[in-house]
Amino acid sequence: MNNLNNVAVFCGSSRGRKQIYIDQAIELARYFVKNDITMINGGGSIGLMGIMTDEMIALGGKSIGVIPLHLKDLEVAHSDMDEMIVTHDMAGRMKVIVEMADAFVSLPGGFGTLDELFEVLTLSQLNIHNKPVGLLNINGFFDPLLAMLDKMRAEGYLSEFSSDLLLVDNEVEGLCKKMKKFEKSGFSVQKIIDQKTEKIG
């Protein structure tokens, strides 16, 4: 059973066009507070990121922001988080987040959200960390992405092991339960290399 003491959340610096995304972001924040989970995010005060932070603060939860120096003004760094860590660049931001978090959750967002999601998945695939990676598929937002992953697997570019690293649920509690139970097994970098070699041969 994984301890979810500190969970990093990747999500949009925009609010989106549907209220359901905001509602689910708030629900996730409430789940964190109820279960004494510290939220780690990109440190911005705007979009879903800011909405979650505001809810955490309003309910007395703990939140930590990690923001690169050049984004402090662009993403309007949140002034009321319990801690704000400023890094030199984006790579430094992700390094800190990966080190601090016990798990990662992605909500709807844009390029930045997908970049963060796939970076932590790749690090897990390469056995650089063994932490759960979750996708909160609100309102079917990520259905096209999941279909693309199925296509990658069907065409031999994504192994069964690798695709199983991404935990997906459309409800907050269901996703968190999956992350708590997550256990990576039967993996080695050499196994992936061997599988690729077999297909080439």
**Tally of domains in the chain:** 1
The one-character DSSP state at 70 is: G
The pLDDT of residue 72: 81
Residue 163 contacts residue 149 (beta carbons within 8 Å): yes
CB 171 within 8 A of CB 134: no
Strand spans (E) along 11-90: 38-41, 63-68, 83-87
pLDDT of residue 11: 97
Tokens of 144: 């096209």
Q: Please name the residue that has the structure tokens 């809810």.
A: 55
Phi, psi for 37 (deg, rounded to 5):
-105, 130
Structural domain for 87, as ranges: 6-200
1 domain-assigned = no
In a domain, residue 76? The reply is yes
Q: What is the pLDDT of residue 109?
A: 97
Dihedral of alpha carbons 165, 169, 174, 176, sign: positive
For residues 169 and 157, give the distance between their C-alpha atoms in angstroms, rounded to a whole number: 23
Q: Is residue 49, in this structure, part of any structural domain at all?
A: yes
> Is position 28 within any domain?
yes
Query: Is 114 domain-assigned?
Result: yes
| Per-residue pLDDT at 87 | 95
For residue 138, what is the DSSP state? G
Query: Does residue 120 lie in a domain region?
Result: yes
Is the whole-model pTM more than 0.85? yes
The verdict on residue 40 lying in a domain is yes
Strand partners, 41: 65
Question: What does the pLDDT read at residue 168?
Answer: 98
Ordered per-residue pLDDT tens for the chain, 201 residues: 889 999 999 999 999 999 999 999 999 999 999 999 999 999 999 999 999 999 999 999 999 999 999 888 776 899 999 999 999 999 999 999 999 999 999 999 999 999 999 999 999 999 999 999 999 999 999 999 999 999 999 999 999 899 999 999 999 999 999 999 999 875 555 555 555 555 555
| CATH value at residue 15 | 3.40.50.450
The whole-number pLDDT of residue 73 equals 74
Quote the CA–CA distance of 32 and 35 in Å, as a whole number. Answer: 5
Q: Tell me, what's the pLDDT at 189?
A: 54
